Amino acid sequence: MLKIWNKPCPVQTGVPYIMRTSLLVGLFVALFLFFFQPFGIHAVPTQNQYPILAGYGLITSCVMLLYGGSLSMYMRQHPERESQWTVKRQIVYVLLQISTIAGANFYYSAAIGMIPFSLEGLLFFIGVTFAVGLFPTITLTLYGYTHYLKTHIAIAEATNLQLEHRPDPATPEAGTRTLQLTGENKTEAIDLDLKRLLFIAAAGNYAELHLRKDKKEQKILLRSSLSRLEDQLQGEPDIARCHRSYLVNLEQVVHVSGNAQGYLLHLRESELTVPVGRSFARKILDKIGR
């Protein structure tokens, strides 16, 4: 059971998902308070309850938007961190959100005179919220992990069945397909044999070209954005963007594995794997299965 805590876990950074979840949870909080009337809300005249309850829901939504937006920006700036997001980190992240929401709603309650302002009140407010939120947080996180893991493994296995019937690509020795790639400085150029290309990865202001030469892997740095190289490779149907930080040569893919975060592409005669981003998954798997 403890091994699950360090397993890869999907991290949701899409703006529509963050906004939808934040608004729905805020609405849920307002409705929960309306029906169960905790913290002295039952003593407030009904006509005055609506703006007060709307305030609790609004605070909840704003905190979730702040957390979700911050995480989304961080992952966009550091895409390599996404693969390091684990079940344990997801649970801690959600519990931090819950604690922040509890603290913000405590100050709101004290400001409108619902409860006295005191350290004991703050700790009680956070403690109750934390206790109520702990079990569903762990349960929902583990459910999401298990659901995505089973789904991705099943799809990966189906794709591998199709891969088994795909003819092997011609070896590099059978001929070359050379293309010149230029960097940001147009005097910097590389004559690339596409049959030797495994993948290209973004590395700050550079792109890492991973090649196979004489059965050994070779890495070449080119000062260029990944998008610039993608534009230069548009006429090559086997070179595809599979992640915001990767281009992959689909001819070199020999196996697909799945985990809760998504898919990994295993390449011919290489120990390296290439991740597949969620927004690219369907397109990439369809191309591999052809």
Strands 246-249 and 239-243: antiparallel
In our burial notation (b when 16+ CB lie closer than 10 A, e otherwise), range 162-199 reads eeeeeeeeeebeeeeeebebebeeeeeebebebbbbbb
Between 285 and 139, where is the model more confident?
285
Taking only the tens place, the pLDDT of each residue in 189-241 is: 888 888 899 999 998 889 999 998 877 889 999 999 999 999 999 989 899 99
Q: How would residue 188 be classed by pLDDT, with cut points 50, 70 and 90?
A: confident
Q: Indicate whether 173 pLDDT > 70.
A: no
Q: Which amino acid is at 11?
A: V
Taking only the tens place, the pLDDT of each residue in 202-216 is: 988 899 999 988 778
Structure tokens at 127: 């403690």
- The architecture in CATH of the region 170-289 reads Beta Barrel (2.40)
Q: What percent of the chain lies above the pLDDT cut of 70?
A: 92
Average pLDDT, the chain: 86
Q: How would residue 135 be classed by pLDDT, with cut points 50, 70 and 90?
A: confident
Taking only the tens place, the pLDDT of each residue in 239-283 is: 999 998 999 999 999 999 999 999 999 998 888 999 998 889 999
Q: Which amino acid is at 42?
A: H
**8 A C-beta contact, residue 97 and residue 63:** yes
Q: Indicate whether 22 pLDDT > 60.
A: yes
Q: Domain limits of the chain?
A: 2-161, 170-289
Q: Which amino acid is at 66?
A: L
Taking only the tens place, the pLDDT of each residue in 25-48 is: 888 888 887 777 766 666 666 667
